[in-house]
Structure 1
C-alpha cells in the first residue's frame, strides 16, 4: 500500500507539466494533494487518474489553498474540514475513513512574514491535533501534508538564519513537539533519525533548489500503533513541477 503526499502549488499548473507521468511512474494507492488552488469543476484530470475516486475540500476564496485525496480504494466515509468554521473556510483538510485507519491530508496555514499570522497558526495547531486525536479514539490515523514547519535544525539547510522565520519559529516547532508528545510518529525520522540534506520545499529565489538550500516541511505522521506496519518512507526530491516535492510511505 503506497501513499503519496504532494503540495502541488496549483493543480491546474502541475497537470500541464509532469503530473500524468508522475502518477504513472509512482502509481500510488492513495494520493494526497495540497494547495490545489482550484475547485474540482475547474480541473481537467488526465486519463491516468481514471482509476481513482477523488474527494475535494476547496477554499471559499478562489484560487487559494485547497486539498484533495485521490484513492483507488473506496472509503467508508469522507469528511471535509475539522468541524470548526473559522478553519474550514480555507479548504485545508480532507479525511477518508478506511477499515483499519483514517487517512487525513492537511495544508497547515503559513505564519507569514514577520509571523503576523502566528496566533492563528497556534490556534490551528491545537485544533488540528485535537481533531486527529479524536479520530484516533476510533482507529489509528495517518495524516500527511504540508505542515509548514521544519521540526529540528537538521530539517532545514540554514537553521541559524531562520530562527525567527515563519516555519522555524520556536512556537511552530513547539506545535510539532505536541504532535510527537501526543503519540504520533514522524515516519521519515522513524527510518532516518539523523539523515541530513533531505528537504521537501525550496524557495524559488537564488537557485535554492539547485543548491539544495531547502526545508523539510512535508510529512507523513502515523499513530504509534501503525509503526510496525511501516515498510518505508521517502522524500522524492527528483520530482519537479512545484516548489515542493512529494513525500511517501509504504505500508506492509
Structure 2
C-alpha cells in the first residue's frame, strides 16, 4: 500500500487561492495525485469548525474523484480556523474512523489534531502535534501532550499494528536539522521535545526514514517561509514522520520525501508498505 502525508498549511489556500504560493500548493497536490496513494493524510488544514465548505468538497472531489474524505477541525473553545487534520482514502477502503481525545491540556484536544482509521489488521493514524510556541510558552503543555499521545499509540499497538504519520513538530536528532547549534532552545528542537519523541519510539515504534536510510544527512521535510533562501540553501528540518510498530518495520518498502519544487514550508512524505 502507498500512503502520503503532508502538512498543507491551509487547505482553503491550496484549493481556492490564486497567489503564487497557492499555485505552488496546487502543483504539490497534482504531484500527490500522480503517485496514486491509497490514503492521503493532511495536517494544518485550518478549516472552520464546520469543516470544508461545499466549494472545498467540490474541488476535492474533482481532484481526487476516487476518495472518501473525513476531517477533524478546531472547535470552541479552541481557536477558529486553526490546526485541523483530514484523510482522503480510496473509496474501496472501509475503515472505521475515530477522532481521539487523549486528555491533553488546555484546548489541544479541541484543535482537530488526530484522526485514526482502523482497518482489519492495522491502524493508520495521523497527528498534527502542537508547537511549543513563541518563547516556548506552550512547552509545558506540549510535554504533557507528548506523554498522552505516546500512551495513546501504545494502547493502539496492544490491539493491532500501528502506522502513524504527521507533523510531529520535532527534529529528533542533530542530523534532523541543518543548524542544530543555533536552535538548541528553538521550538521543535528543545531537549524536552526531543526526549518526548525518544520516549514515544521506546514504546515500540520505528522511525521509518531512519530505519531505511540510516544516518543520512541533509534530507528534510520543512524549510522556514520567513527565510527566503531556506530551501535554496537547504536549511531545513525533518519534523514530519512515518512511524510503524517495531514488529512491521521489515514490511516497509519505501519511505521518502516528495519533491515540492520551490514551495517552502512542508513537503509531502511517502510510505510504501507491504501489509
- TM range, smaller chain: over 0.9
- TM (normalized to structure 2)? 0.87
Paired residues for 1:1-252 under 5 Å: 1-15=1-15, 16=17, 17=23, 18-38=27-47, 39-41=51-53, 43-44=56-57, 45-46=59-60, 47-60=62-75, 61-72=79-90, 73-84=92-103, 86-204=107-225, 205-239=227-261, 241=263, 243-252=265-274
Cα separation, 1, equivalents of 2:71 and 2:182: 37
- Asked whether the 8 Å contact 2:260–2:268 carries over to 1, the reply is no
Task: List alignment gaps of at least 5 residues for structure 2.
Answer: 18-22
**Structure 1 gap segments, 5+ residues each:** none
TM-superposed CA distance for 1:111, in Å, is 0.2
TM-score normalised by the chain length of structure 1: 0.95
Count of aligned pairs: 252
Structure 1 pair 137–75 and aligned structure 2 pair: CA distance change class (3 A): farther
- With over 3 angstroms needed to count, the CA separation of the structure-2 counterparts of 1:245 and 1:20, relative to structure 1, is closer
Cα displacement (A) at 1:209: 1.0
* Aligned-pair CA distance for 1:62: 2.2
| Distance in 2, Cα, partners of 1:70 & 1:137 | 26
Q: Shift of the alpha carbon at 1:26?
A: 1.4
